[in-house]
Structure 1
């Protein structure tokens, strides 16, 4: 059983590392695309696209970080205290994800995309 817990802990840490890597690489790529001259939008449009790229990278990274927390908490040490801490972390990160989604797309995640018919 200890061997299984060790493997699951390492998997959780790898998923966390992937989340951090996604955020860092996303920031670098978005920043490079915003800084380097390219044919395309200028001024405010360029800034909006930059913010959207940053937001998408952070959203994806947050999803991976939540997954890593879930893996480690549920599989390794599912105590009531650890589950309560996990619940709080998930609530905070979900709120951040909703806020970022609103910033990136201009709508809440549960709202339909504009121009989409039912």
Structure 2
């Protein structure tokens, strides 16, 4: 059982590391594209809007990996009431951040249909 906990703990840490990596790499790519586009032509501010969307999407994907890693480590490795309470707070804050980022990027809530698609 101890080997299982160590393995699952390592998987949780790996997922969290991937989340951080996604955020960092996505941020670097978003910044590089912004600078390139901004230097070429940005009379209408489109470069900044695209930068915000790219950065927000990389943060959203990274948050998903971070949440998955937290869940795995807390449920399997840290089976205490304190660990569960901490996990609940972390997940709540990350989900709140995810919703606000989605709203900022897409201009709608996740459960609303895209503007080009009629609701059923």
TM range (shorter): over 0.9
Paired with 1:52 and 1:91, the residues of 2 have a C-alpha distance of 23
Task: Check if 1:36 corresponds to 2:36.
Answer: yes
- Residue matched to 1:76: 77
Q: Is the 8 A contact 2:37 2:47 kept in 1?
A: no
- Residue matched to 1:13: 13
TM-score, with normalisation over the residues of structure 2? 0.91
- Alignment coverage as a number of residue pairs: 117
User: Alpha carbons of 1:112 and 1:37: their partners in 2 closer, same or farther (altered >3 Å)?
Assistant: closer
Write out the 4+ residue segments of structure 1 that deviate beyond 3 Å after TM superposition: none
Task: Check if 1:57 corresponds to 2:48.
Answer: no
Task: Check if 1:4 corresponds to 2:21.
Answer: no
Paired with 2:102 and 2:78, the residues of 1 have a C-alpha distance of 31
Paired with 2:37 and 2:53, the residues of 1 have a C-alpha distance of 18
- Residue matched to 1:99: 100
Taking only aligned residues, the RMSD between alpha carbons, in angstroms, comes to: 1.6
TM-score, with normalisation over the residues of structure 1? 0.93
1:73-98 alpha-carbon deviations (Å, 9 max, x no partner):
00112222211111111000000000
Query: What 5-or-longer segments of structure 1 have no aligned partner?
Result: none
1:31-76 alpha-carbon deviations (Å, 9 max, x no partner):
11111248x9724111100000000000000110000000000011
Query: What 5-or-longer segments of structure 2 have no aligned partner?
Result: none
Paired with 2:37 and 2:21, the residues of 1 have a C-alpha distance of 25
